Amino acid sequence: MDLFLGWMFGPLEITLVVLASLLLFGRRLPEIARSLGKGITEFRKGVKDVGNEVDKAAEVSNTSADAGPSADVDKEKPSEG
**pLDDT tens, 24-66?**
888 888 888 899 999 999 999 999 999 999 999 888 888 876 6
pTM of the prediction? 0.49
Measured between alpha carbons, how far is residue 78 from residues 67, 68, 70, 74, 75 in Å? Answer: 20, 18, 15, 9, 8
Rounded CA gap, 44 and 38, in Å? Answer: 10
Torsion angle of C-alpha atoms 53, 59, 61, 67, degrees rounded to 10: -150
Rounded CA gap, 39 and 44, in Å? Answer: 9
pLDDT of 59: 87
